[in-house]
Chains A and B, each alone.
Chain A
Amino acid sequence: MARDTLAEVPDETLLVLYANGDADAARLLMDRLLPRVLGYAARLLSDRTEAEDVAQEAMLRLWRVAPDWRSGEAQVATWVYRVTTNLCTDRLRGRMRRRATPLDDAPEVADGAAGAEAGLIAADRMAALQHALDSLPERQRQAVVLRHIEGLTNPQIAEVMDIGIEAVESLTARGKRALAAALTGQRAGLSYTDESD
């Protein structure tokens, strides 16, 4: 089927088309899901190479489940996020077993003078955010990233994390507070002083 015809087709339909031999459907599904899965894994793992491996594995599991996909049971994107979450959890636990996670290894945020240009400031802010995310407990980090960066709804997050909606609300609230606390002291370095003070 032509790609422009598929543009408005839901993920689930694309998955069925893929299972029936449509290569274009697979490519379009990859275009939609891979950047999201990769970004999510990168946020959870803080490691681009590992994130790519996880994203590839999550997509491979999607391809494999395609022939047996049960319509209406789950959203394709939610399913992939869930697989990615589990794969990242496995990797993080593997890291914990190998060594204590050295939070101090996270990149230092450059000082304000070094980040004079807007691009550098933005990069500093993202590095600081990633450092702060890394300091959160695993479940809080997942919930915060899914809610505030990936833009999932609380019911979707509940499905991804296999918990209740109230638990999601609790995790995201506590995670956001912890995130703010982790970033405390860096506000000036991230040039927020210039904008909001």
Chain B
Amino acid sequence: MKATEMTDLDLDTLLSAARKADVPPSEALRVRVMADAMAVQPRPVASHAADPGASGWLDWLSAVFGGGGALAGVSLALVGGVFIGVVQPEPVAALTNALMADAQADSVELLPDAASLWEETLND
């Protein structure tokens, strides 16, 4: 082998030295890379918790009725009752008439007439 030729040992030594030769990133590069990392980092999903002050009364009412489901049921019944009372749908009116046919009255006298009291006094 000629003295000018690189031996395997020479080459391995050279490559080994290259492996150990660090290429340290500059501080400027590190700053740029971290800025990129922070810029594209996924953000945590924002909580949808409502303002407790604004909905506190609703939470309290739900607790009274045993939860949101029960409160919804009660609310539906309330709305239904008002609807029936105001609109008086035909089937409901017919049912009411059938049940109350014998007890129908145009007026009910809750207090006796004052004149009748006067008459009793005179009779005595």
Name A's B-contacting residues (CB within 8 A). 18-21, 23, 26-27, 30, 34-35, 38-39, 42-43, 51-52, 55-56, 59-60, 63-64, 66-67, 122, 125-126, 128-129, 148-151, 176, 179-180, 183-188, 190, 192-193, 196-197
**Distance of A56 Cα from B32 Cα, bound (Å):** 7
B18 with A192: CB separation less than 8 A:
no
**Is the Cβ of B30 less than 8 Å from the Cβ of A34?**
yes
Measured CB to CB, the residues of B under 8 A from A are 3-11, 13-15, 17-19, 21-26, 29-30, 32-34, 36-38, 40-44
Output the least CB separation between B75 and chain A (Å). 40
Q: How far is the CA of A84 from the CA of B101 in the complex (A)?
A: 93
With contacts A187-B6, A193-B3 known, is A63 near B41, CB below 8 A? yes
Assembled-state Cα–Cα distance A149/B8 (Å): 15
Let me know if A196 and B15 touch, CB within 8 A: no
Q: Which residues of B contact A18 (CB under 8 A)?
A: 37, 41
Decide: A34 near B25, CB < 8 A? Known: A60-B36, A193-B3.
yes
Further 13 A-B residue pairs, CB within 8 A, beyond A34-B25, A197-B3: A27-B37, A30-B33, A30-B34, A34-B29, A38-B25, A59-B36, A59-B37, A60-B36, A122-B17, A183-B14, A187-B3, A190-B14, A196-B9
